[in-house]
Chains A and B, each alone.
Chain A
Amino acid sequence: MRRIRIAPRADWRERAQRLGFAFAEIAGEPYWDETAYWRFDGGEIDTLDDATGELQRLCLAAAEHAVRWTRHETLGIPAEVWPLVVQSWERQDPSLYGRMDLRWDGSGAPKLLEYNADTPTALFEAAVVQWEWLTCAMPGQDQFNSIHETPIAAWRGLKLPPTVHFACMDGSEEDRGTVDYLRDTAMQAGKQAPFLPVGSIGWDGRDFVDLASRPIRACFKLYPWEFMLSDPFGQHIGGADVRWLEPPWRLLLSSKGLLALLWELFPGHPNLLPAFREPGRTGGPEIAKPLWGREGANMTAPGYSTDGPYGESGFVYQQWAELPCAGGRYPVLGSWVVAGRACGLGIREDDTPITRDSSRFVPHCFAPAALESAR
């Protein structure tokens, strides 16, 4: 894998606008960055594909273990919430998507940094925008990307009611863009997909209801479970007849305590880094990650620390594996899982080894097999 600098397309802003990509720039700073791209070969893409599938298998095994042995303390899930999680797992509530963040430099095995299993973003740019870039800027090249068609196919198999409500916080173009894109895929799968702000969800004493006071029976929420359950309406979730996406059992995977549980269950696995709930056990430098932290907040690593509001949630301590650096940028590989299967790649880069909300999205490609064999 190599980072290659390239001149951006002169009309990239207009193209982004035509696609409905409203957050190509965020707060005046570029988010979509096509001044460079990452080039892989087919074998490297296969490695990422296989690693993601293997990690998905490990994560589900860890979830099963957690439920069977009541490991909520390791995961930092409060006891009063645990029954909701267990019921969701035992019902096999369907999940739509997640994104594993991997550390890899093209050699050895990709390592799991964390699993964004509840409210992953950077979906639209991975599925559509970088593909549009590929067809325009890199015709004839290939891309690890079936992120668009896989959710459309998945919606049809999730056994949801005909109407799925979609909700997120008001005021974030990125959130709304992600939700609208998923609405797009649901509509293509034949679903009714009305939107409402998460703060506009109503409670009538029996059901959660939309703005027309119709019962909500299925709801995609780009709003974390730990927030849902902390909010005043959290008390009603257990008794309401709603199919949530992502479902409550995804708390088992979105907690960074998962990293410690994985290492306990699969010590030495090539796709894992040593991780513990206590500091000083990895045998070397460590990064401290809040169990429920997001966007790189409240991290402490050798030479780096970030602030944020998540410092009270408890920590997991993972062996420090600094991201590779190329061109002064540190890439993290976001490997998408839809309906349980690896289906594509999105890369974000930061100018520090800790990926944050200010990181930029950089496209990728790889040489089709026919081109590789001709070389």
Chain B
Amino acid sequence: MRVAAQIALVLMGGGALATGVQLTSNGGPACRSARAQGDPNANAICGASSTGYSGHGGGWWGRTAGAASTSSTSTSGWRSVMRGGFGWSGLHFGGFHG
């Protein structure tokens, strides 16, 4: 039922290393069953589907913007760059976390 791992951080806390062993229980029924039965392939079973993405297996929109214009322009090569075109709704609505 467990996966031993260390949590290392390369950016947060100035690149802190949080030492220790993480004991986790997860992985779904197949993973748990493999671990419970001491299956030598348990790690592969538990880890296999976590290493890649395997496919999928309103009216109020536009209220804050639409007519708004971007706030700054610069030039890169021959193309001008406009900035400030995202963030309007966030300023209007404030907190938005899930």
Contact = CB atoms under 8 A, between A and B. Distances in A.
Contacts of A53: 28-29
Given A121-B97, A199-B86, A309-B94, A146 B24 contact: yes
Interface residues of B, number: 70
Interface of A: 17-21, 42, 45-46, 49-50, 53, 60, 63-64, 76-78, 81, 89, 92, 94-95, 99, 116-122, 124, 127-128, 131-132, 135, 141-146, 148-150, 153-154, 156-159, 167, 169-170, 172, 174-175, 177, 180-181, 183-184, 187-188, 197-206, 209, 213, 223-224, 226-234, 236, 249, 254, 291-292, 294-295, 309-310, 312-314, 338-344, 357, 366, 368-369
A116 to B, nearest CB: 3
Nearest to A159: B53
A370 B31 CA distance: 18
Among B2, B24, B55, B96, chain A packs the most CB atoms within 10 A around the CB of B96
A230 B62 contact: yes
B37 interface: no
Contacts of A169: 87, 90-91
Contacts of A154: 50-53
A183 B26 contact: no
B58 A144 contact: no
Interface in B1-43: 1-3, 5, 7-14, 16, 18, 20-29, 32
A209 B84 CA distance: 12
B50 A132 contact: no
A41 B93 CA distance: 40
B90 A227 contact: yes
B97 A309 contact: no
Nearest to A187: B10
Nearest to B55: A92
Given A169-B87, A199-B84, A203-B82, A340 B49 contact: yes
A341 B49 contact: yes
Contact of A76 (B24, B59, B90, B97): B59
